[in-house]
Amino acid sequence: MTARASVGGTLVLVATPIGNLGDLPPRAVEVLRGVALVCCEDTRRTGKLLHHAGVSARMAVANEHTEAARVAEVVELLGAGHDVALVTDAGTPGISDPGERLVRAVVDAGFAVSAVPGPAALVMALVVSGLDTTRFVFEGFLPRSGGERTSRLAEVAAERRTVVLYEAPHRVVRTVADLRDTCGPDRRVALARELTKLHEEVWRGTLDEAAAHLDATEPRGEYVIVLAGAARVVATTDDDAIRAALRDELEAGATRRDAVATVTAELGVARRRVYDLATALPRPTTGPDRPDRPDSPGSPGSPDSPDSPDMDDHGR
């Protein structure tokens, strides 16, 4: 556990609007006005945001190419007791945007890190998608090509939680087609774009329908893809398979009680069902379950008898 630094400045991650400038919270303006430096992806875009908020601040670029090089300056300012803000072009820093490396470096240097929470495209798209929000996983951008992309697509297809992805407009057609081919044409999906903007759109349907929709309309703006999780596959085990497994256990020398326990665990079926099939099998003429034993299965008081206190009701 890392304790909060008691001296020095604080690095504050400030979430910024994903489209509508009216979504900039008052506390974000207060923080941006009070810091010694605002680290950003693009000084032109952040400059427009600061101008809109009436804030004058020194800016420095900390994008995917310069973030690591910016660490020394940020740590020096924090060490002198100054606060530093980190913003991205849109949304929450560190979520498919620069920020993670700078945060890690500041934490390792022993300084405090805080945040002004706010807009995040993945959260908005998820809650308006109409899909399950109980459990979800964020995948960001898929790898663009090769075995890594194929592997990630397979993982997404098998994921039972709702999956949220980001995609650029010039790649979204291919990505949705790949998802359809990997997950199946009937998987439910929502495509969200231009969130909080004038032309906000959330399209809902199946992956097959989504592919046709994108073929018919020119993709514009960054997309958030919200994909329904994979359906639970319930394996069915017929009675013949259970009987065969019981016979294997009995022929290997197991008591019928142990055979029932083993088959129940291995096949994941109800114990009562396995027990009923076990008692219907012909009794072995030799071995621990031979009929002349006083505690053979089915005898009153035997461990395997339905009225035995050791016989649980699991699976009834």
Whether 287 has a pLDDT exceeding 70, the answer reads no
Whether 5 has a pLDDT exceeding 50, the answer reads yes
E-strand stretches of the chain: 10-14, 37-40, 59-61, 84-86, 112-116, 136-141, 162-167, 188-193, 201-206, 223-227
Q: Which residues of the chain does CATH 3.40.1010.10 include?
A: 10-119
Look at residue 232 in the predicted model and tell me its pLDDT.
Answer: 75
Least confident stretch, 43-57, 154-168, 236-250, 277-291: 277-291
- Determine the average pLDDT of the residues in 101-113: 96
Least confident stretch, 34-43, 98-107, 182-191, 267-276: 267-276
Q: Binning pLDDT at 50, 70 and 90, where does residue 224 land?
A: very high
Whether 207 has a pLDDT exceeding 90, the answer reads yes
Side by side, the strands of the sheet bearing 37-40 are 59-61, 37-40, 84-86, 10-14, 112-116
CATH T-level assignment (fold) for domain 122-227:
3.30.950
CATH class of 10-119: alpha beta
Whether 4 has a pLDDT exceeding 60, the answer reads no
- Determine the average pLDDT of the residues in 118-122: 95
**CB 219 within 8 Å of CB 146:** no
pLDDT above 90: percentage of residues in the chain: 75
Q: Binning pLDDT at 50, 70 and 90, where does residue 296 land?
A: very low
Least confident stretch, 54-58, 176-180, 185-189, 295-299: 295-299
Q: Which residues of the chain does CATH 3.30.950.10 include?
A: 122-227
Q: Binning pLDDT at 50, 70 and 90, where does residue 265 land?
A: confident
Residue 208 to residue 187: CA distance in whole angstroms: 8
Report DSSP state, residue 23.
G
Least confident stretch, 32-46, 140-154, 229-243: 229-243
- Determine the average pLDDT of the residues in 243-263: 91
